[in-house]
Amino acid sequence: MAEGLKKNLRPTDKVGRILYQISAGLALFGGLMIAIMGIAITTSVIGRSTNIGSITGIYDLIELWTCTAIFAFLPYCQLMNENVIVDFILNKATNRVKSFCDALGSLIYLLIGILLTWRLIFGGIEMHQNNESFTTIGFPRWISFPYAIACMSLLTIICFYTFWQSVKKIKTRSDFSETINQPNSKIPGEQ
- Global model pTM greater than 0.95: no
pLDDT of residue 138: 79
Average pLDDT, integer, range 143-158: 93
pLDDT tens-digit readout, 23-33: 999 999 999 99
Q: Does 13 or 154 have the greater pLDDT score?
A: 154
Kindly compute the dihedral angle of the four CA atoms of residues 108, 111, 115, 120, in this order, to the nearest 10 degrees.
90
pLDDT of residue 126: 92
pLDDT tens-digit readout, 152-186: 999 999 999 989 988 888 887 655 444 444 455 45
pLDDT tens-digit readout, 54-86: 788 888 888 889 999 999 999 999 998 776 666
Residue 65's alpha-carbon distances to 4, 41, 68, 117, 140, in angstroms, are 27, 11, 5, 19, 14
pLDDT tens-digit readout, 122-137: 999 998 898 888 777 7
Contacts of 108 (CB under 8 A, 6+ apart): none
Residue 27's alpha-carbon distances to 11, 38, 67, 79, 103, in angstroms, are 16, 17, 13, 11, 23
Domains of the chain, residue spans: 12-84+91-179
Q: Does 93 or 22 have the greater pLDDT score?
A: 22
